[in-house]
Structure 1
Amino acid sequence: MSTRTVRIVVLVLVAALVLSGVGLAVAGLTGGDGSGSSSGGAGRSVPAPTTTPAPGAQDPPRPALRKYYEQEIAWAACGDNECARLTVPLDYAEPAGETIQIAVLRVPAGDPDRRIGSLVVNPGGPGAPGTTYAAQAGLAFREPLRERYDVVGFDPRGTGFSTAVDCVSDEQLDVFLAADPAPDDREEADALEQAQRAFNAGCAAESGALADHVTTVEAAQDMDVLRSALGESTLTYLGASYGTKLGATYAELHPDRVGRFVLDGAVDPTLTAREQTLGQARGFETAIRAYAEDCVDSGDCPLGDSVEAGLQRLTDFIDEVDAEPLPTGGERELAVGNAITGIIAPLYNRDYWFLLTRALTAAFEGDGSQLMQLSDLYSSRGPEGYQDNSSEAILAINCLDDPSAVDPDDIPGQVAAFEEASPTFGEVFAWGQAGCLGVRAEATVETPEIDAAGAPPILVIGTTRDPATPYAWAEALAGELESGVLITRVGDGHTGYNVGNACVDEAVEDYLVDGTVPEDGLRC
């Protein structure tokens, strides 16, 4: 899911997996460098990909790209899985020029004799590493998918173990993420603007030409090279959050190569930056109110005895931390930026609301360590530093896709509209519109309008109280795609597959395993 709010870094299911206590070191990867009708409908069937490959499966869009499309993946042992690197051009307009590396990880199908093919997955962000997502297949995907598919994750260009962007040092990133995301006065506003401009200038200075080539369009082009290298005639894909934008972009660029596609927690690519940010403000207000109500109803809630009193207590607490950071028992104090991130992180999944209750209970007693842990997990920060570049890549990618930014002098006049959408977080979201100030990278490709005309049915999942990708976005994307099929999960949290809703799970698995298209408008 793309967001313009600097500190609300959406890591989707990866964040939830980390919060569950499951860590991962991906061995072997080091840092650095079918067709069908165009309308969906219940009972329709989408054929499985041909993996032998079929005639023309490796034909590139242009002859100059043939060497990339015909490369063979050299898999090597990677812990319990298999890892490899894919070579792609830095600039698809100059395929004979500089190349970059894309990290790929495969979890082989549990039932090789009944293997369908490869299921390529992306967890969102942008910036979240897909290799980690695939390696966590035992948690992220249910047995019907794991048994029949090789689960294949890749780190999109500029991220993770692929050739990665760099913007600032770990020490600078600590300061950047800890800073007040909603300035209290002119001095703080000037400091925020300077920090934002320095961060974005750093991406260009530290990453060189790569900073100009991490668009969603180019990542989608890489996916087609990956499809060919995997030997698949069509791409079978499950993308979450921002991964839905990536998948929809692929479908627009290569509708004839779309196989069984699932887009979960959908992004509406037609929204302006302001519309997107306002939508998320409303979404997170819905989530924090749902959390507060659940906390109050459960009894012994640190927020108090009512939702309104609880949200006021939370707002007062944020102001208190802004004035005086809390000790954490370590060298770093819990500053206001960390506190807000730590509060937001567990809202992605109802199962982790108890972690927020524990963290707030401790924080109200003067101990910021648990909120800091949640903030660090959300930002992929370990004891020795950041474990990936997701907190940098999200801005590098988003601001290359759309470099628009609101002048800081104009933001105070917009705060009221954002606070109407979210009394709790509105000011933070309003100031998030300054996230692309000072961007120096320039995209060399255009972002297309998306309808994926000619693609077979594409499943789009929306959750009614999703904080990060509001349900209206799924409705919109399903309508924008010529072959969109909408599935609605009624509930809380981000994304709909494998979060305890059997109706959604069965619809997704029947489609990906058997090719059976569910009824458009299915409500679960």
Structure 2
Amino acid sequence: MTKNHLTRCAALVAATVLLSTPLVAASAATPKLKWGACPDSAGAPRGVYCAKLLVPLDYSKPTGRQITLTLSANGSLSSPHFMLVNPGGPGASGIGTEKLVSAALPQAVADQYSVFSFDPRGVGASTPVDCGDLTKLSPHPALPYKPANAKQEQQRVALAKKVADQCGAKAKWLLPYITTENAARDMDRIRIALGKQKIDYLGYSFGTKLGATYATMFPQHAGRFILDSVVDPLVSTYQSGFEQNVALEKRTQQMFAWVAANDKTYHLGKTGQAVAKAWEGIRARLAAKPVSGKVGKPELDDMLASSMYTEDSWPTLLEAVTQYLKGDPEGLLSAADQLALGVDPAQLAYNCNDKGWPPTWSRWHRDTVRSDRQAPHYAWLNTWYSAPCAFWPVGPAKAGRIGSSKVPPILLLQGRYDGPTPLAGAQRMQLVLPGSRLLVDAGGNHASYLFTDNPCTDVPAAKYWLTGKLPANGTCPASRPAG
């Protein structure tokens, strides 16, 4: 990224509105949390406890309708420090994340921290966005992502509109309030309920946007923050999808090169180009004859996209594909269940409330056709995943600018070839959060801090948790699988 490009980003920052301050002061009365068993539906692992916290649906009406947040905790609640964790999404459940993080922290850090998480508003065991049963709207095998003609495209458009209409019919009362800023306000209510002056925070993926938003809105309560796999703060969610397409395509070519390097195992070609050609043959074969009538070309595309989050999933996908080629489809059916993409109402609610979604389909079509030239595996897939935002029944919500207040310096971690959150996003986040530090590892795994082995990032991160001292900016080798 050139200096001139960063200068243009800085100009964009100056032209953006300020991120709004809290609408109301938090109540002076500190709510008491009652910790107990988590809801059965949360699927919490053993040793995790939950508590309920009421927060305003609309923070401009703090005594009006309340909604529920479900908080989760692992182990002792009396450590000297506490860490709040968000796993991303948006729309991912946090319950159970605190146990994974607590178990993975270096012992010296774990001894100092109680780790908490929560289901954000709209998600899971908190008051959820309920769009009803959406599974009937997307039968399998699905229509191809890249439409072969105008009729197929309009069928997909109609499906996206049905999703938006159904969410509007079921959850319109809640949808306007599912915003990143409201989730940040909820975080401050959590801080108060836990009786803490400051939050120490670990956020992955969308959790980086949430953490940076909180630090901007409540800088006096922002403690030690680590943000891993950083969302771009300077572009709309619509635009970031097209940047993501290119990064995912590059990551896919890296996977094909890896497959070629392991040709003795997978027998798909000895060069990346050969593997790419073989992959297209597999897609064509599944298009002609879906496995068990439900796993066709779009389902394989889903699996490929899901595998771009971590290279640990590459062997699972490739083993399933090679077994399918040998006449055994069971692994492919299983992988389809594990790696399937589906409609996530909470994720749509957060994303569709953002500004920047074109109101006319012709713009979506034109931009996707252009993106398809650079990212043929992802352009149409990503567009259809977000297409309900073209017809969303509410919004967009007012939103401000991350970094509009004096934010305490924080630590940013990023993979150079991360597909879901490209490197440029982390660089731009550092630009808008002066004094923050960025460590870039040479790999491409998404949200890998604590779940892969990389002393180059792990050691300075541990020091930061313990002392508050940030490392210098730097580059690191690629992470290795943990253990």
TM range (shorter): 0.7 to 0.9
Partner of 1:373: 334
Quote the offset at 1:484 in angstroms. Answer: 2.0
Partner of 1:325: 290
1:273, 1:433 within 8 Å by CA — same for their partners in 2? no
1:414, 1:430 within 8 Å by CA — same for their partners in 2? no
Partner of 1:484: 436
SS of the residue aligned with 1:136? helix
* 2:467 is equivalent to residue 505 of structure 1: no
TM-score (norm 2): 0.85
SS of the residue aligned with 2:312? helix
Quote the offset at 1:497 in angstroms. Answer: 1.2
* 2:467 is equivalent to residue 514 of structure 1: yes
Quote the offset at 1:279 in angstroms. Answer: 1.6
* 2:296 is equivalent to residue 335 of structure 1: yes
SS of the residue aligned with 1:119? strand
Give a deviation string over 1:349-392, Cα, whole Å, max 9, x none.
Answer: 122221121121133345554344334334599xxxxxxxx822
Quote the offset at 1:280 in angstroms. Answer: 1.0
* Residues in 1 aligned to 2:328 and 2:244: alpha-carbon distance in whole angstroms: 29
* 2:353 is equivalent to residue 400 of structure 1: yes
Quote the offset at 1:270 in angstroms. Answer: 1.1
1:326, 1:366 within 8 Å by CA — same for their partners in 2? no
1:283, 1:467 within 8 Å by CA — same for their partners in 2? yes
- One-letter identity of the residue aligned with 2:24: R
Quote the offset at 1:146 in angstroms. Answer: 3.0
Decide which of 306, 309, 312 is 1:348's aligned counterpart.
Answer: 309
1:263, 1:461 within 8 Å by CA — same for their partners in 2? yes
* 2:374 is equivalent to residue 421 of structure 1: yes
Over aligned residues, Cα RMSD in angstroms?
A: 2.6
1:334, 1:368 within 8 Å by CA — same for their partners in 2? no
Partner of 2:231: 267
1:418, 1:430 within 8 Å by CA — same for their partners in 2? no
Decide which of 231, 254, 268 is 1:303's aligned counterpart.
Answer: 268
For CA contacts below 8 A with separation 6 or more, give which structure has more relative contact order: 1
* Residues in 1 aligned to 2:274 and 2:171: alpha-carbon distance in whole angstroms: 47
Counting only pairs closer than 5 Å after superposition, residues 207-226 of structure 1 correspond to structure 2 as 207-226=171-190
* Residues in 2 aligned to 1:369 and 1:177: alpha-carbon distance in whole angstroms: 16
* Residues in 1 aligned to 2:106 and 2:74: alpha-carbon distance in whole angstroms: 13
Give a deviation string over 1:88-117, Cα, whole Å, max 9, x none.
Answer: 01110111111110111101259x6xx332
* 2:147 is equivalent to residue 183 of structure 1: yes
* Residues in 1 aligned to 2:275 and 2:420: alpha-carbon distance in whole angstroms: 22
* 2:279 is equivalent to residue 314 of structure 1: yes
Query: Any unmatched runs of 5+ in structure 2?
Result: 1-21, 39-45, 478-483
Distance 1:135 1:432, change over 3 A: same
* 2:24 is equivalent to residue 62 of structure 1: yes
Partner of 2:50: 83
Decide which of 27, 48, 72 is 1:105's aligned counterpart.
Answer: 72
Partner of 1:5: none
1:177, 1:337 within 8 Å by CA — same for their partners in 2? yes
TM-score (norm 1): 0.79
1:179, 1:335 within 8 Å by CA — same for their partners in 2? no
Partner of 1:196: 160
Give a deviation string over 1:139-166, Cα, whole Å, max 9, x none.
Answer: 6544444332111110110011110012
SS of the residue aligned with 2:115? strand
Partner of 2:480: none
SS of the residue aligned with 1:263? strand
Quote the offset at 1:61 in angstroms. Answer: 6.6
- One-letter identity of the residue aligned with 2:270: D
Quote the offset at 1:71 in angstroms. Answer: 0.8
* 2:63 is equivalent to residue 96 of structure 1: yes
* Residues in 1 aligned to 2:108 and 2:330: alpha-carbon distance in whole angstroms: 39
SS of the residue aligned with 1:94? coil
Partner of 1:440: 393
Give a deviation string over 1:118-137, Cα, whole Å, max 9, x none.
Answer: 10000101011011322333
Give a deviation string over 1:192-240, Cα, whole Å, max 9, x none.
Answer: 1111011011112112311111111111110000011111101110000
